[in-house]
Amino acid sequence: MAKKSVSRKKMVSSDESAAKGRKARARKILAALHELYPEAECALHHASALQLLISTILSAQSTDVNVNKVTPVLFKRYPTANALAGARATDVEKIVKSTGFFRQKTKSIIGTCKAIVENFGGEVPDTMEALTTLPGVARKTANVLLGTWFEKNVGVVVDTHIGRLSHRLDLTWTSKDSKDAVKIEQDLMQVIPQKEWTFVGHALIWHGRRVCSARKPNCEGCTLNKLCPSAFSPDLNGHGDAKKRGRSRN
């Protein structure tokens, strides 16, 4: 029994040490991101919670640049949730077609606006529980709204950029790959202070677009390369995950 007790203590000590190490390195990465992108913010143009919600729905499988081209037309014609709730699907589809998957997105937009009008008095709700009852709104979209517009750090947004960089920077240890958004978010929430959850999402997205792209990461020009276990690795695959990670750099 004594040997088992000692073994368990060693395991607990080892786990605690690993957790402290991850947090320490994550803080260094966070500090570097603040230096690189002190003004990091959402790239989707919006002037209200509704506009940000609709823009986020449209951004799925599309670029923010493309979304920002169509939303001025959409919001001028349909400025309120009530207006969009009563819109004809074919008319909305014509406006948002270039964002891709336009029929499903139109269905989600109109359905969401109907729910906002019928269940929330025409105002976009400000809780995770309420937002995720809206058609086409899952946790990722709700996190965008809560953090960016309502300034509530309830969770961390995990899109393709954040998933990719979380794996390359070894900020996730329980997820199976860069698409495992649920576990990536849980891991990030453990190593990043809650007050930084919204910022780190925006900053990682900016870094993923400007430096650490999916196919050709610019490790040479990346100021995070000393903190990145995947830097200069020949084993980065098309999903942005390192097949074989090197040692974590402190």
CATH of the domain at 123: 1.10.340.30
Q: How confident is the model at residue 245 (pLDDT cuts 50, 70, 90)?
A: very low
For 154-206, what is each residue's pLDDT tens digit? 999 999 999 999 999 999 999 999 999 999 999 999 999 999 999 999 999 99
Domain shared by 176 and 130, yes or no: no
Burial class (CB in 10 A: 0-12, 13-18, 19+), 226: exposed
Least confident segment among 7-16, 21-30, 42-51, 72-81: 7-16
Question: Residue 247 above 60 pLDDT?
Answer: no
How far is it, in rounded angstroms, from Cα 162 to Cα 147?
15
How much is the mean pLDDT over the chain? 91
* Per-residue confidence (pLDDT) for residue 7, from 0 to 100: 59
* Per-residue confidence (pLDDT) for residue 1, from 0 to 100: 57
* Per-residue confidence (pLDDT) for residue 246, from 0 to 100: 44
Q: Give the CATH number of the domain where residue 194 resides.
A: 1.10.1670.10
Domain shared by 180 and 133, yes or no: no
Please identify which of the residues 64, 69, 94, 140 carries the catalytic annotation. 140
* Per-residue confidence (pLDDT) for residue 137, from 0 to 100: 96
Residue from 156, 177, 159 nearest 168 by CA: 177
Residue from 168, 181, 177 nearest 230 by CA: 168
* Per-residue confidence (pLDDT) for residue 9, from 0 to 100: 57
Distances (CA, A) of 215 to 111, 155, 180, 228: 36, 28, 19, 17
Q: Which of 119, 149, 179 is the last residue of a domain?
A: 149
Q: How confident is the model at residue 17 (pLDDT cuts 50, 70, 90)?
A: confident
Distances (CA, A) of 43 to 17, 40, 87, 196: 37, 9, 26, 18
Domain shared by 145 and 183, yes or no: no
Q: Which of 111, 129, 149 is the last residue of a domain?
A: 149
Q: What single string gives the DSSP state of each residue in 153-168?
A: -SS----HHHHHHHHH
Q: Could you tell me the pTM of the whole model?
A: 0.87
Please identify which of the residues 15, 126, 159, 177 carries the catalytic annotation. 159
Provide the 3-class DSSP secondary structure of residue 236.
Answer: strand
- Check if 159 is active-site: yes
* Per-residue confidence (pLDDT) for residue 46, from 0 to 100: 98
Question: Residue 56 above 60 pLDDT?
Answer: yes
Domain shared by 189 and 139, yes or no: no
Q: Does residue 53 form part of some domain?
A: yes
- What integer is the mean pLDDT of 14-43? 92
* Per-residue confidence (pLDDT) for residue 11, from 0 to 100: 52
Q: Does residue 204 form part of some domain?
A: yes
Domain shared by 139 and 164, yes or no: no
Q: Into how many domains does the chain fold?
A: 2
Question: Residue 250 above 70 pLDDT?
Answer: no
- Check if 140 is active-site: yes
Q: Which of 149, 171, 188 is the last residue of a domain?
A: 149
Could you tell me the residue range of the domain that residue 112 belongs to? 49-149
Find all residues with CB under 8 Å of 124, minimum gap 6, and list them. 48, 49, 50, 53, 81, 116, 131, 145
Domain shared by 199 and 176, yes or no: yes
**SS3 per residue for 8-59:** HHHHHHHHHHHHHHHHHHHHHHHHHHHHHCCCCCCCCCCCCHHHHHHHHHHC
- Residues of the chain with pLDDT > 90: what percent? 84
The answer to whether the CB of 233 falls within 8 A of the CB of 246 is yes
For 62-106, what is each residue's pLDDT tens digit? 999 999 999 999 999 999 999 999 999 999 999 999 999 999 999
